[in-house]
Structure 1
Amino acid sequence: MKRLLVAAGGGGDAITAAMVHAALYGPDTPALVLTYAWERLVVDPVPGPRGAADFTGTLTPAPGLTLITPRSAPKAPAGSLLPRLAAQLRPALGLLDPYGGTAGLARQIEAAARWCEADRIDLVDVGGDIVARGDEPTLRSPLGDALALAACAATGIPTTVYVAGPGLDNEVPLPLLRPRLGEPALTLTPEDTDGVLAVFDWHPSEAGAVLVAAARGVRGVCGTRDAPRPLVLDESARQVHRLTGEEALRLNPLARALGPCRSLEAAEEVSREVCGFSEIARERRRAEAAPAVPSPRLPADPGTLLARYGEWERSRRAEGLDYVTTRRITEELALTPVEAAGLHRSLRAQAPPRHVPPLWRLAGA
């Protein structure tokens, strides 16, 4: 028997599901995490989620269930970090393919439950957009979470929803989330992060990284990329809230409306009707507007990089930030992988080290 967890969104939720599993059942308890291959354009240049047909090297241990393994690979030009996650996370990883809509996802979850011999589902979300009403002005990506919630409800299998790190995805403001979530059910500890900490050496999930930092005792104000406000790392940032599937469904109008959907295209149209936008359409526009691949350039020397970083760092401190994510540093300074690795080495060598895994402490913080 394996515990069955469903990651409500993309890679960050799969990592969070592994942490919540460790907290609830212990890291060595057998488990399967079902997750989308729906990753940001920095990872996958093709808009929208990837389906089972977009991968090679998967396993099909039962009809309707696709497992991602370290030997799996996305078919070009698509990209995915799921095979690397499969190599590092303790739970096995299964693929959620949303192209059959709510009905198709429900069949996949049912197949996974039979294979796991599981009589219940743990549905895990980092941040809280799984209980979004749809009209929050900062809401950006409600569709995957709502589809997962609708599909779990359609199976009829008892489902518990866990929301970890409320507000950490910067989608639903914390004052709106608190009355919807109630009191926390558990608090993540440093030990719960042991199995995922090394993932953030290469994985870009910012909500996941901030959650791990909070669970490991980091406190202060953290800046993430392209966010409406900085995040406050306090005790609430490492708490996990528990709802029944029925309670979450009552709070999420989009999930309720997605019940009859039998295709991703139909689900996208429902999202337009309920929320006023389609996140897949936004991804298409961003992909079309993305610049051409730049010409190779020689990496900047370490001294120049540190000087650029120092000027940028002073500006971030002036904003009141204590910490920043790896992704914010890399993207705002437009670093190549070689430059990013060199800058990280320089910052780690400083005393005290600036790396507070998986975040970076700004000077003077």
Structure 2
Amino acid sequence: MTRLIVAAGGGGDAVAAAMLAAALYGDSERAVILTYAWDRLLIDPVPGPRGPADFTGLEPLTPAVWTVPAESRPNAPAGSTLPRLAAELPHSFALLDPGQGAEGVTRQLEELVTHLQPTSIDLLDVGGDVLARGDEPTLKSPLADSLTLSACGQVNAPISLLVAGPGLDGELSHEDLQGMLGPLVHTFTAEDAEPISPVLEWHPSEATGMLAATARGVRGTCEVRDAGLPIPLTDESPTVHEVDLEEALSRNELARAIMSTTTLDQVEALSREVCGFSEIDYERNKTLWLKDRRPAKFNAESALIQLAQFEAEARSRGVTHTTFRHLTEVLNLNGSQRDDLRRLLINNRPEQYSTPLWRIPATI
């Protein structure tokens, strides 16, 4: 039997899909995880999602869908976490290509459903921004999730919309989401998080990292992103809720607006019209900014001094945890230096490593 899980926003949603598959369906059933190749600029310096032409070594699954095996590689200068995920996780990863808009994604889903005859189909979103109207001031990345929601709403097959870690993406708060969340499907545990633990040692997803940390019992406030957004880590953080897909679609204005799109450019234009922005524009602008920015040369002694200053300031803000991605940016380092920083901190202060987060000590 095969389970099909659609990672609504790509990135960390694909990792969370592996945790969901193990928790809900066990190790005996194979899951096909359909996901965007869309990673943060720390991993992929090219803005926006990658399509099949951006890889070598993909394998055809249907006329419109390609799988990403461990041996595949993104074409430079692009980057992707998918080949490494395929190497380290016991699932098949299929490439969700948004190049032909919602009609193209719908076609990919329909072909997969026909080809796989899956036992179940889940659309998984970590955080819950798939439920946004589009005008929320805290919304940062509506395009990817709205596109998958739009396509899933047009497929003639039963699809369960699942929201894991309500509020963990920092786009809609748990309070904002409470009235929309349906029945509790599962509460992740430390045992559920174990299969993806090795992945979270290197994968940059903050939301899925917090999901796994809260499954292990971590509670407090985690500071994330380049802007230092505080995210509450509560007993609700490791939960998974089902949401009525039709209600989500009726709420999400962008998802409805893009239903007949046939190009990614059309999707972007409607995102700017409905939401006032496109997250790909943000990545384009940040790429230009990063080109002019000269990251500091990695120096262990300097990094520890800067860390102490950051921790003191974070502590005064009530922050209890942060991510290595946030620390990398706070210390003016680049993505290639993230692993150096992580090794330095864990080796020097292993007691502050709350896998996969960094704990801010309560006192000096």
Q: TM-score, normalised by structure 1?
A: 0.93
Matches of 1:54 and 1:342, distance apart in 2: 28
Residue 279 of structure 1 deviates from its aligned partner by 1.8
Matches of 1:253 and 1:94, distance apart in 2: 27
Match of 1:333? 331
Change (3 A) 1:54 1:315: same
Match of 1:27? 27
Residue 17 of structure 1 deviates from its aligned partner by 1.1
Q: Secondary structure at the match of 2:351?
A: coil
**Aligned partners of 1:158 and 1:245 also within 8 Å:** no
Residue 138 of structure 1 deviates from its aligned partner by 0.8
Unpaired segments ≥5 residues, structure 2: none
Residue 183 of structure 1 deviates from its aligned partner by 4.4
Whether 1:100 aligns to 2:111 is no
Match of 1:53? 53
Matches of 1:133 and 1:336, distance apart in 2: 34
Q: After TM superposition, list the pairs within 5 Å mapping 1:301-316 onto structure 2.
A: 302-316=300-314
**Aligned partners of 2:101 and 2:267 also within 8 Å:** yes
Matches of 1:243 and 1:131, distance apart in 2: 9
Moved more, 266-275 or 164-173: 266-275
Please list every run of at least 4 consecutive aligned residues from structure 1 whose deviation after the TM superposition is greater than 6 angstroms: none
Change (3 A) 1:257 1:337: closer
Matches of 2:167 and 2:317, distance apart in 1: 20
Matches of 1:73 and 1:32, distance apart in 2: 19
Residue 241 of structure 1 deviates from its aligned partner by 0.9
Residue 306 of structure 1 deviates from its aligned partner by 2.1
Matches of 1:86 and 1:175, distance apart in 2: 35
Residue 229 of structure 1 deviates from its aligned partner by 3.8
**Aligned partners of 1:99 and 1:264 also within 8 Å:** yes
Match of 1:198? 198
Whether 1:233 aligns to 2:233 is yes
Residue 64 of structure 1 deviates from its aligned partner by 1.9
Change (3 A) 1:362 1:257: same
Moved more, 96-105 or 176-185: 176-185
Q: After TM superposition, list the pairs within 5 Å mapping 1:234-249 onto structure 2.
A: 234-249=234-249
Percent of aligned pairs with the same amino acid: 47
Moved more, 348-357 or 337-346: 337-346
**Aligned partners of 1:150 and 1:255 also within 8 Å:** yes
Match of 2:362? 364
Change (3 A) 1:303 1:47: closer
Residue 233 of structure 1 deviates from its aligned partner by 1.0
Change (3 A) 1:27 1:318: farther
Unpaired segments ≥5 residues, structure 1: none
Matches of 2:14 and 2:239, distance apart in 1: 17
Amino acid at match of 1:16: A
Q: After TM superposition, list the pairs within 5 Å mapping 1:73-92 onto structure 2.
A: 73-92=73-92
Matches of 1:17 and 1:275, distance apart in 2: 27
Residue 66 of structure 1 deviates from its aligned partner by 0.3
Amino acid at match of 1:260: S
Q: Secondary structure at the match of 2:240?
A: strand
Residue 248 of structure 1 deviates from its aligned partner by 1.9
Change (3 A) 1:28 1:334: farther
CA RMSD of aligned residues (A): 2.1
Q: Secondary structure at the match of 1:4?
A: strand
Match of 1:150? 150
Match of 1:207? 207
Q: Secondary structure at the match of 1:364?
A: coil
Match of 1:282? 282
Moved more, 337-346 or 354-363: 337-346
**Aligned partners of 1:159 and 1:244 also within 8 Å:** no
Matches of 1:337 and 1:277, distance apart in 2: 25
Q: Secondary structure at the match of 1:230?
A: strand
Match of 1:317? 315
**Aligned partners of 1:120 and 1:157 also within 8 Å:** no
Matches of 1:171 and 1:158, distance apart in 2: 27
Q: Secondary structure at the match of 2:243?
A: strand
Matches of 2:23 and 2:301, distance apart in 1: 43
Residue 98 of structure 1 deviates from its aligned partner by 0.4
Amino acid at match of 2:351: P
Q: Secondary structure at the match of 2:184?
A: coil
Q: Secondary structure at the match of 2:48?
A: coil
Matches of 1:336 and 1:227, distance apart in 2: 16
**Aligned partners of 1:119 and 1:157 also within 8 Å:** no
Amino acid at match of 1:239: T
